[in-house]
Amino acid sequence: MEKPDGANPLFGADSDDSLSRRRMAIGAVAVLLVLIAIWFWSHRDTLSKDAAATKDQAPLVSVIVPGRTTIAGEISVNGSLAARREMPVGIAGEGGQVVSVLVEPGQWVGAGQVLAVIDRSVQTEQQASQAAQIEVARANAQLAQSNLDRALKLVDRGFVSKADIDRLTATRDAAAAQVRVAGAQLGVLKAQTRRLNVVAPAAGLVLERRIEPGQVVSAGSGVLFRLAKGGEMELRAMLGESDLAQVSSGVSAEVTPVGSDRSFAGQIWQVAPVIDPVSRQGVARIALAYSPEIRPGGFASAVIKAGTVVAPMLPESAIQSDNKGSYVYVVDKDNKVERRDIKLGVVTSKGIAIVQGLAGTERVVLRAGGFLSPGETVKPSAARQ
C-alpha cells in the first residue's frame, strides 16, 4: 500500500512502536512504586527500630547535679620562716678581747644571762685606783673636819677670827664633796666593767653566734648574737590583694615546712597595712610556737582558713576553659548540650567551688566535656558520687 502524497515519512509503524514502549515504561514505573510502597509497609517495624537505634547512638555522658555545699574557705600560700621577735645582741660597752663564749646556737637563755665575757684586766686596775682615790678624799675630809673643830674651840678666846672659821668650813665641805665625786667615778668604772659582758636582753632561743674567744670586739663590731624572743616563730606569707582582704588577725592556719610531713597550727597576728606597688602583694604574719622543725630562714607552705561559702562544688574534670574563661557543659531537658560560663571560687581537696554561673540544680557533664559541642544531643547517665 502506497503512502499518500505529502505524508511525513517520520510517522508510521515506528511511531506506533515508540508509543507502545512509552506506555510500557509508565506501567513499569507504576508497578515499581506500588512494590516500594508495599515493601515500606511490610518493613515499617524494622525501620522504626533502626531509627530508635540511630537515636541510641548519641554519646553516653556522665552527669552530676552538684547541689549547694557549705565550703570552708581556704587560701594556700607560701612564705619564709623567721623569728617573730628577733633580738640582735652586740657590745654595749667599749669592748675588748673576748675571754670566753658561754652559749651555742640552739640553746635557751634567760633574761640577763651572760653570753660572752670580755677581758677586764685594765678596768679592774682602774677600779682599784679609783677606790684608793676615795680613801685619799676621805682622809682629806676627816682632816678638814678636825681643823674646823679645833678652830671652833678657839674662836671664843679670840685666837681665830670668823673669817678663818668660814675658810675652814669651806675646806671641809670641799673635801666631803671630793669623797662623793670619787665614789661616783668608781661607780662609773664598775658599770663600764659590767657592760663588758654580752648579756641576753630577754629570755629566748639563741639562733646565731658570731663571736669566738680571742676575738677583739667593740661597739662597731655589729651583731654578735641573734636571739628569738621567747622562742616564738612566724611564717611571713605573701598574699595577693584579693586574698589579703579575706584575712584578719586571729584567723587560724596550718603551716607545713618544706621537707617535713608535719603541719603546725598557727594564727595570723599581723596583716600588712600596705600593698607592695610592684608585686601587688602584702604580708600576713602567722605566729607559731617553737618546734625544732621550724627553722628561721626556711621555706614553708600554709593553708589559711578564710571563712565559709555556700556554693555548688564540682570536680576538676567537669570544668573546661578557653580564651573566654572557665565553663561547663549542662544537659538541658531535651538532652542537648549547653555551654555555661562560670566563675571559680575556693579550691579544696574535694573539688572547686562555683561562685557564679550555676544554681546547683543543673545536670553538669562530669567528664569528656572536651569532646562535646554546644547543641549536640547526648544520652545522660547519672554519675556515682
Cα–Cα distance, 355 to 171 (Å, whole number): 93
Of 325, 317, 312, which is closest to residue 366 (Cα–Cα)? 317
**Other beta carbons within 10 Å of 77:** 21
E strand or H helix that includes residue 338: strand 337-341
pLDDT at 1: 43
How much of the chain exceeds pLDDT 90, in percent? 23
Q: How far, in Å, CA of 310 to CA of 313, rounded?
A: 9
What confidence tier does 84 reach under pLDDT thresholds 50, 70, 90? Answer: very high
Q: What is the rounded (10 degree) CA torsion for 331, 336, 337, 340? A: -60
DSSP letter at 233? E
The string of pLDDT tens digits covering residues 248-293 is 888 889 999 998 888 999 999 999 888 888 888 899 999 999 888 8
The pair phi, psi for residue 299, each rounded to 5°, is -115, 145
Instruction: Write the pLDDT tens digit of every residue in 311-361.
Output: 888 988 889 888 888 999 999 988 888 999 998 877 777 888 888 889 888
pLDDT at 158: 67
What's the pLDDT band for 19 if we cut at 50, 70, 90?
low
Percent of the chain beyond pLDDT 70? 89
Computed over every residue of the chain, the mean pLDDT equals 82
Cβ(195)–Cβ(89) below 8 Å: no
Q: Is the pLDDT of residue 237 over 50?
A: yes
Does this model's pTM top 0.85? My answer is: no
Enumerate the β-bridge partners of residue 380: 61
Q: What is the mean pLDDT of the segment spanning 160-181?
A: 84
Q: What is the mean pLDDT of residues 20-33?
A: 74
H helices of 253-338, in order, are none
**DSSP element (H, E) containing 335:** none
pLDDT band at residue 115 using 50, 70 and 90 as cut-offs: very high
C-alpha cell at 245: 582582704
Nearest to 97 by CA among 259, 234, 216: 216
Report residue 154 as a C-alpha cell. 678657839
Q: What's the gap between Cα 288 and its chain centre?
A: 13
Alpha helices in 9-70 (DSSP H): 13-42, 44-56
CA distance 111 to 87: 12
